[in-house]
Amino acid sequence: MEHVTSLPILDLSHLDGTAEQQQAFLDRLSQSAREVGFFYLINHGVDPALSARVQQLSRRFFALPDEEKERVAMIHSPHFRGYNRAGSEITRSQPDWREQFDIGAEREALPLAPGEAGWKRLQGPNLWPAALPELQSELQAWQQQMTRMSLRLLRAFAEALSLPDDAFDGLYGEKPNEHVKLIRYPGRTGDESGQGVGAHKDSGFLSFLLQDNQRGLQVEVESDRWVDALPLPGAFVVNIGELLELATNGYLRATVHRVISPATGSDRLSIAFFLGAQLDGAVPVYQLNEQLSQLAHGPASDPLNPLLREVGWNYLKGRLRSHPDVAARWYGDLLTQKIDQPIEQHSSNRSHKEPSL
């Protein structure tokens, strides 16, 4: 791999270009996702005016009085939706210095019988602030555009891997695990931690980040060597999630990243969109051609936070670790169970090759 000093830039409009432009995009997509795991995406088709409105409304939300934001606090939601104050979410056992508001796909809660899988509690309605009613309609419209765009990119990934373009359709299905997070990083004082969010990998298929003009996101392109993902107007920062790394036996790379808190007197606003598989899915290992298989060395799983092939359990495991207060209120019955066992103990799809995690 060449010495990476900045993230590659990919132009999604080239998928509508000539055959040569399309192939060049697919080749660059495969290379960027394998060697870096991060890239900028431009000309993506998401309405820039809508994105700007969502950014404006996000700032208005975070400017609401604390009592209004606490009305939609995540502690009220068994589905891990809603608002968290700075320091509430945990990464690598340390608090992240950011306040945030999480929404998912707006769906009815599943009826649950005693003894059913705990991850089924994750589906359900969002919490919306009564003091800012327009946030719901604009954010849901943005979420729909992001879903369409991200599914198009996911199909491009399938083509880049020489798979049928619908190879991933069965995993994200009709109910992809969409997740939007509004995030504000307050400026830190001299004696506070610089951990806006600690070093981690994302757990889903694909992640998209809409940044403001404040720097802070860093990508670990090599061991202990970090590159700034500087804001690029009109672009999304895209990164590979662990599900794609797992599904391609490590050919695609889920890369560790972090956010450094801004300096005193400033703040940073970002809006993240995560496309995940539907909760009842199980991740197979896709059979790549011989040329690609030789470059697939298995996914790099954290032994303290192992990957699970069953999507719902993997997602729930991450939520329980990140939000211990919500876990204690709504999932106390699961906290005494071991749900992060090696993947073969949870997987219902054992016919697929199990890489060493």
Residue 127 identity (one-letter amino acid): L
Strands 179-186 and 267-275: antiparallel
From first to last of its 357 residues, the chain has per-residue pLDDT tens of: 456 789 999 999 999 999 999 999 999 999 999 999 999 999 999 999 999 999 999 999 999 999 999 999 999 999 999 999 988 888 887 888 899 999 999 999 999 988 889 999 999 999 999 999 999 999 999 999 999 999 999 999 999 999 999 999 888 888 888 999 999 999 887 666 789 999 999 988 899 999 999 999 999 999 999 999 999 999 999 999 988 998 999 999 999 999 999 988 899 999 999 998 899 989 888 999 999 999 998 877 554 455 678 899 988 988 998 899 999 999 998 887 755 543 333 333 322 222 222
Q: What does the pLDDT read at residue 355? A: 23
CA dist., res. 193 & res. 26, Å (int): 40
Angstrom distances, CA of residue 17 to CA of 11, 158, 166, 236: 11, 18, 21, 20
Q: What does the pLDDT read at residue 352? A: 25
CB 77 within 8 A of CB 127: yes
Q: Which residue matches tokens 């705990």?
A: 118
Q: What does the pLDDT read at residue 356? A: 23
First to last CA, the chain: 24
Domains of the chain with CATH codes: 9-345 (2.60.120.330)
Q: Which residue matches tokens 């509430």?
A: 88
Longest dimension (CA), the chain: 58
Q: What does the pLDDT read at residue 180? A: 97
Q: What does the pLDDT read at residue 341? A: 47
Residue 63 exposed, middle or buried by CB count within 10 Å (0-12, 13-18, 19+): exposed
Confidence (pTM): 0.90
**298 closest CA partner among 340, 343, 339, 257:** 343
| Token pair belonging to 15 | 């998928």
CA dist., res. 236 & res. 270, Å (int): 11
Burial 264-298 (b: 16+ CB within 10 A, else e): eeebbbbbbbbbbbbbebbbbbbebeeebeeebee
CA dist., res. 39 & res. 76, Å (int): 36
Q: What does the pLDDT read at residue 357? A: 22
Q: What does the pLDDT read at residue 216? A: 96
